[in-house]
Each structure stands twice: as structure tokens, then as C-alpha cells.
A = this chain, B = another copy of it.
Amino acid sequence: MAKVLTPQNEDFPRWYQDVVTKAEMAENGPVKGQQVIRPTGYALWERMVSGMDDRIKATGTENASFPLLIPHSYLQKEANHVEGFAPEFWTVTQAGGKELEEPVVVRPTSETVIGEYMAKWVQSYRDLPLLLNQWANVMRYEMRTRLFLRTSEFLWQEGHTAHATYEDAHEFTLRILHEVYADFMERDLAMPVLRGLKTVEERFAGALNTFTCEAMMRDGKSLQMGTSHELGQNFSKAFDMQYLGSDGQQHLCWTTSWGTSTRMVGGLIMAHGDDKGLRVPPRLAPVQAYVMSVKDGEGVSEAARALHDELIGSGVRSRLNDRTDVAFGRRAVDAELKGYPVRIEVGPRDLAEGKAVVVRRVEGTKTPVALESVVKVVTEALEADQQAMFDEALRFRADRTVAVKTVDEAIEAAATGFAQLPWDVCGVEGEAKAAAKGVTVRCLQRADGSVPDTDQEPDMVATLARAY
């Protein structure tokens, strides 16, 4: 097979661009920084939405839909928030052929508009916690964009909750981090993530604390896969979100917000892809098994369809490719590019012996298998490869993570992976020094890898890396 991709170790960003284009994942839109997500890429996002949505609902959170356009005055109500987001606003000034009286902003995130409504809906302690989420598009102006990773418009979920106490809000922020985000990323995406606390510098504009899931890409850089923010009473003050407690007194709510986006698709590509293209973990894969007729005639089509039907009947997400008017080699390269976990090639020679060839994308093996055993072999392969991908990613991260003693060592180590340094040694000054070299503190953790409750905890470890 001809090389269709720039090799990863030759030029990783170019490899990424090649995969996204050649696997027909996405393209640039006509307006700066926007993207068109093509069916191959969108199907991955749909599976992500499904896996995340189940977990979000399991926390008792309900979905809702808030408006795309937010009055500028709402955004100004929380000072840090508007300061952080204002440079990224896309602003609507005309509608129905007239200038608007007040310009409105395409939502960069929805804390403010949701805050306004939550304040109306929350009256008594009986209304709490109020747990909402929306699946939506948002826009943030970006100078340098890259498909999936940094785009002016992206698709995401944003959760927004209000609680009666600090403790309840804090606990919920961490529940989202662990039970929704990290659980989904590790189990479904087969991507191990560091869970930790962001530094003050890296915190969400308007938050008390930001918790994050960070994953290592195959070039050793870090990608922030999702964040869960403890907003304290900053937004409840700004929007006067009060409740009547069982003590008969009015109290301000404690709120949280948390988001993950189509950026995860980019993360998936960069965490698992290889020089042949994307590799999709079986549990996520929209197409788990790809049944191909090698050529026409001799009962090949019929046998391929029978296998496909049998796989579907066994609960495997199978797709049939019977396009024998397109060269087999081209179709096989396309299947590798798109990263289908298992490919089943049905050709006349093997068929004459009652067999089909099972090609595993992760292991790279090609094995003739008796027709009656194909479903069993495929099912076992899917199970095994999900685990193999996670293990491989975990090993990769371990191999590229080093404990260091100084900021200079951390900057050096970040050339190839993650550097771990006591936060007491790094500090805000070390953070600024590293940032000048393009290296950032991705998160703070306790020595045992668990998540600190606040940035005041002693003996925290900082993970430094280059990042997307």
C-alpha cells in the first residue's frame, strides 16, 4: 500500500492534518476558524455524545436549551468572566434589516444567560440542587485555528448546576470530573487522563477552581479534554441567585459549570492514531466491523452480506462495503485510514475454503477464519483491543513522564512528554518562566495522583507539558 500520510515522527502536525483530511473527518469552513464536520468525524462525535449523555443523566442532570445570542449586558455582570471572554466575542449588530438597540454576542459559553434563568427558577431549598446541561454550539474568536482542536465554532456540552452549600457544589464538580468525564475518557475512548486542579493562571474566567482531565498525545503534548469548574458564589452574586433555606433565611446559591467539546475528537485522533491513520477504540467505534467484498461473483457478495447480517444480529456495529466498482486496495487503505477496529475481507479464494480474512487494526494481524467462527473471533477481538489500546496509551504516557527537580529540567523534559515537579519548587514564578518557553502547568495533583480540593493544599505536584 502506498503511503498516504506524512509519518508521525517526521511532522506530527502535518500527520494530523493529513489524517483529518484523508479520512474525511473535517474541513475548514468558509468563515475564519469554522469547520465542517464530515460524516466520518461526526459519527465519532455522535458516539461521544451518547456515551457522555448517559453518564450525565445518571447524575440526575436534565438537558435543556438556552439561546444562542446573549445580551452584552449579561456578559458584563461577572467582571472576570467578561474580561476573559470579551476578546473572543462574535457580535450580532443587525437583525431583520435594522441595527439592534443593544448588540448581542454569540455565546462563547452560557454561565450568564443560564444564571439569569436559574435565579428565576430557584426559590426555595426544595428547588436545589438544580442540575442542567445543554448540547450546543458556541463561538470564540481565535487567531490560529486547527480542525477539532481549536476552532471558532465548536460543538459541546455545558453543564450548569446550582447547589445549597459549598460542600454539595464542590462534591458535584468532582463527581462530574470522575464519574462522567474521566470514566468516559478512560473506558470509552481508551485514553488515560490525569485528573487535577488548574493553577490560578489557567483557571476558567470567573471560577473559584477549575478541575481538568489532561491526556497525552503521541507527540508527548498534553490536551485538555474536559474541565469542571467550581464557580463559588461569583455567578450567584452577579445574578442574585438566592434561595429560601429551611431556616427561613435567604442564601446565595453555589454554582458549577463543566464542559467537553468536539475537541475530544482531535484528542482521540492524536492519542491513538498511527502512520496508517486513525485507530478507533471498539467501544466508541460507530463502525466496529467493516465487511468487504474483495470482488464480484462466486458468491462473494452473498457471503459478505450474510456475515454482515450475522454480526449485526450479534450486536456488533457492522458496515458492509460491497463497492467492487472501486479498487479493493483503495477501499482497504480507506478502512485503515478511518481506523475501523476490525475488517473482514471476503474473497473467492478464501471463500472456497469456507473462510474469510479478519484484519485487526490495532494488532495489525491478518488471519483466515472459518466463516462460522467469524462472529466469535470479531467479538473477542473488539473486547481485547479496547483494553490493548488503553494499556498502550498508559504505557506510552508512563514512558514519557519524568519526575524532575527544577523548572529548567521540567522545560527540557517537556520537549518529549510530561514533567512532574513539586509545586512548591515551581510556583507562580516557575510557571511564568516555563510559559515563556511554551510549557504550561497542566494540573496540580496530590503526591498520590489524587485531586486536591483547593490550591492551598501543601505538597502538591505540578505536571508541566507543552499543550494544544
A residues with a Cβ closer than 8 A to B are 27, 29-32, 34-39, 42-43, 45-46, 62-71, 74, 86-97, 103-104, 106, 113, 116-117, 126, 132, 136-137, 139, 141, 143, 152-153, 155, 323, 325-326
Q: How far is the CA of A86 from the CA of B32 in the complex (A)?
A: 22
Cβ 8 A contact of A96, one of B36, B63, B69, B141: B141
**A27-B117, A30-B116, A71-B31 as given contacts; A64 in contact with B93, CB under 8 Å:** no
- Summarize A's interface: helix, strand, loop or mixed: mixed
Contact in complex: A113, B30 (CB < 8 Å): yes
CB <8 Å contact, A67 and B29: yes
Shortest Cβ gap from A202 to chain B (Å)? 21
* Pair B63/A30 contact, Cβ less than 8 Å: no
Query: What are 16 A-B contacts with C-beta separation under 8 Å?
Result: A29-B69, A30-B113, A34-B69, A35-B67, A37-B65, A39-B63, A39-B132, A42-B62, A43-B63, A68-B137, A69-B90, A89-B97, A90-B94, A91-B93, A97-B141, A126-B323
Q: Tell whether, in the assembled complex, residue B95 and residue A34 are in contact, meaning their CB atoms are under 8 Å apart.
A: no
- A340–B31 Cα gap in the complex (Å)? 45
Are B38 and A69 closer than 8 Å at their CB atoms? no
Contact A92 B92 (CB under 8 A): yes
Pick from B37, B64, B87, B93: contact of A37, CB below 8 A. B64
CA distance A68 to B139 in the complex (A): 9
**Shortest beta-carbon distance from A101 to chain B in Å:** 10
A114 to B116, CA, bound (A): 35
Number of copies: 2
Among residues of B, the one whose C-beta sits closest to the C-beta of A103 is: B94
A465 to chain B, nearest CB (A): 27
A39-B64 in contact (CB<8A): yes
Q: Provided the pairs A104-B31, A137-B137, A326-B126 are in contact, do residues A143 and B96 lie with their beta carbons within 8 angstroms?
A: yes
Closest to A61 in B: B39
Are A29's CB and B66's CB within 8 A? yes
| Chain B residues in 8 Å Cβ range of A71 | 30-31
How near does chain B come to A106, taking the closest CB pair, in angstroms?
Answer: 7
Least Cβ–Cβ distance between A134 and chain B, in angstroms: 8
A82–chain B nearest beta-carbon distance, Å: 13
A233–chain B nearest beta-carbon distance, Å: 22
Which residue from B65, B69, B86, B106 sits with its C-beta under 8 Å from A42? B65
Least Cβ–Cβ distance between A141 and chain B, in angstroms:
4
A35: chain B residues at CB < 8 Å are 65, 67
Q: Within the complex, what minimum Cβ distance (angstroms) separates A62 from chain B?
A: 4
Are B141 and A68 touching (Cβ within 8 A)? no
Could you tell me the distance between the alpha carbons of A126 and B331 in the complex, rounded to whole angstroms?
14
The answer for the CA separation of A155 and B65 in the assembled complex, in Å, is 9
Closest B residue to A38 by beta carbon equals B64
Give complex CA distance A70, B36 in Å: 12
- CA A106 to CA B153, docked complex, whole Å: 12
Task: List 4 additional A-B contacts (Cβ < 8 Å) besides A36-B66, A90-B95.
Answer: A42-B63, A45-B65, A94-B103, A106-B106
- Complex CA gap A137/B65 in Å reads 10
**C-alpha gap A402/B323 in the complex (Å):** 53
Could you tell me the distance in whole angstroms from the C-beta of A289 to the nearest C-beta in chain B? 18
Q: Which residues of B contact A27 (CB under 8 A)?
A: 117
Question: Which B residues lie within 8 Å of A136 (CB)?
Answer: 137
Closest 8 CB pairs of A and B: A96-B141, A39-B62, A29-B67, A34-B67, A37-B65, A91-B94, A90-B95, A95-B141
Pick the contact of A36 from B65, B69, B323, B325 — CB < 8 Å?
B65
Residues of B within 8 A of A46 (CB): 63
A153 near B69 with CB under 8 A, answer yes
**Complex: A42 Cα to B63 Cα, angstroms:** 7
Determine if A36 and B90 form an interchain contact, defined as CB atoms under 8 angstroms apart. no
In the complex, which residues of chain B have a beta carbon less than 8 angstroms from the beta carbon of A89? Answer: 94-97
